[in-house]
Amino acid sequence: MSTPHLITDAHLESPDDFYEALIETHQGLSTEQSHALNARLVLLLANHIGSLPVLREALAAARAA
């Protein structure tokens, strides 16, 4: 079985709708609350991905951007 890799090509079914939902989720939050929401979201999505090698690739890609 091959090790999964980070998908960096466009992969969202509806990226504009996701972006809109993300922005709406932050509406009315303080900066501190917004940062906490982002941290919880990262942890939820990391748990969903579940692969440490993929998560390490994502961390490196995000850091390099």
In a domain, 47, yes or no: yes
In a domain, 14, yes or no: no
* Domain that residue 49 falls in: 30-65
DSSP string, 1-65: -PPP----S---S-HHHHHHHHHHHHTT--HHHHHHHHHHHHHHHHHHH--HHHHHHHHHHHHH-
In a domain, 60, yes or no: yes
Please give the tally of structural domains in the chain. Answer: 1
- pLDDT on residue 58: 96
Model confidence over 4-61: pLDDT tens digits? 899 999 999 999 999 999 999 999 999 999 999 999 999 999 999 999 999 999 999 9
**How far is C-alpha 59 from the chain's CA centre?**
10
In a domain, 17, yes or no: no
Confidence of residue 1 (pLDDT cuts 50, 70, 90): low
In a domain, 15, yes or no: no
In a domain, 20, yes or no: no
